[in-house]
Structure 1
Amino acid sequence: MPRQQGQESVSPRDHRVSVHQHWPDSLLDGTGPEPFFLVETWRPDDNAGYLASCTPETCRRWVEAALAYAAAVDAVSAELTAAHQGVGSVPRWTYFAARRALHDWERVRERYEQTVREAGEAYQPTSREIWHEVWAERDRAGLRAREEAREKREEAREEAQARRRAAELAERPIWGWSVVTRKKWSIAYVFRHDVPHSDERVSAARQGRPCVNLQELRQALKDLHPDRLHWDDTALAETGRELDGVSFGRCWRELFGEDHSTFTSLPPLPPPTRRTTDRGNPSGGSATSGTGGHGSGFSYGGFGGGY
């Protein structure tokens, strides 16, 4: 019967241990003794045993109970082995010696079966306790798996809704732009016709401008290639609200694979989740393009190519 080795080093990890079920050899009458559990510190890559939740004190008690069971069976097994060897070593013509050895064998065999049964009965409460924790851990694992699956379904549903809202918004002809030329450079103002503007400089720009969807707006801005680009803050904030908190910058990137302020290509974004979103900034970045900036809210650099 294998012994639990190094029991002083066995301890729960994340409040769990790994338990491995073992059976002693069958009794001489062919019946099976009570199985017992070897308790080990759980390792994330260990898939051989069962997981069971326990405290350090409970873990120590489980280990000691298995050790007591194993020690009792080992001791009487050693006696049984010695008695069996004694019977085999006595010459058959020595009648009295052979009879005495056989009598010793019968007596040890009875003690062996009684000892193993008593040790198994004494271990039964621990065995039942461990099984209870094994099944409870399985139930918790199943609950966690179901919860994770539910969260994934919910995230997929929210992602599909976000894509649908973005596609619907992209088709709406609500956007407008105007370009102001100043000496050797030009500024493109981008706004929405259906919301109040947040910048007085947009007032004149709104008058008489066409209403276009996002694809038409993108093409117009690419054709114009202004030195500076200014997105109206109110337009971006309202767009983020309509997208249920998903930023306009993320929406643009998912639709066109590029940054909305520079038109430079970007890798695809990971799907948004309830745990990781960019809802803090309505535009997903600065409302103006480029890397520098003036106190007026405009920045140089603008469209640096890449489209």
Structure 2
Amino acid sequence: MRKRKVKRSPELPRPSTSAEEAGPSAHPVGGRICAVRRGLHDVWFVSTPIVFDFCTPEPGSAALTVPCSTDTLRQWWDAGREYQQALSRVADEFRVVHEKVARTPVLDRSRRVMRRLEDARDRRAEESRRADAAYTPVRETISGLLFEERRKRQRKVVREENWGWAEGEDGTVLVFRHDVPSPDFPEAITAGRPRMTLWELREVMVESGVLRVARWDEAAVAATDRELCDISLASLWRHHFQEDFYARHVTRPSDDKGYPSGGSGILGTGGYIGSSF
């Protein structure tokens, strides 16, 4: 009889050993560290376990960073390594039993064999829950810090008086940022123009009837997108004003100056902050 080929599942990423076990390669700069979510993809888990990786902040980078000391980084890194090792161990234990059952012809699978598989599945679930419970405080702490950083950046874009608009020589309405040099908009046009928040900018443009025909400075938009990091100015505009940023078309009237409720389902995973500014 032809032997059935058993398809092996991809293994969970394992923490590095040897030299890397001495500690994380990243280090805080100015008391801050870059924290990046990573999914541990493995077919044996119903949902994807999430762990945080860390990298050293680079000068001039707009990447999200969170407050962190060297000692705290080591605690977070150790917790993540232990979490991954625990998940790898339970995944391997279950894989061994599963593959042994898979090699057994269906008609030869006794109740005892199937019970062994069920026991292994139960152990995997219990050990996974235990490992996740141990790592959850670290995950929630980092997620909460990322949440606050996103909220601070979004608030800055909306509240700070960096925006301005002017009328070009050809009558075109030009929208720019006072703090972002523009290669396309001459300083003679932008200098001396009133500084305003994003809310004030839109209100003035609506009252003047120029919202739909405005030309936005590409350098200003690009700089804002970098500051927001994982969302764009167009997305922020749409969620604040219920308008399509590019088409300038009001999709739903709203007097609410806050974000609509909803957004991310997990603290700090990205997206919009469900509170007013």
- If asked which structure has higher relative contact order (CA below 8 Å, sep 6+), I would say 2
Structure possessing the higher radius of gyration over alpha carbons:
1
User: Into which bin does the TM-score normalised by the smaller protein fall?
Assistant: 0.3 to 0.5
Normalising by structure 1, we get a TM-score of: 0.43
Normalising by structure 2, we get a TM-score of: 0.47
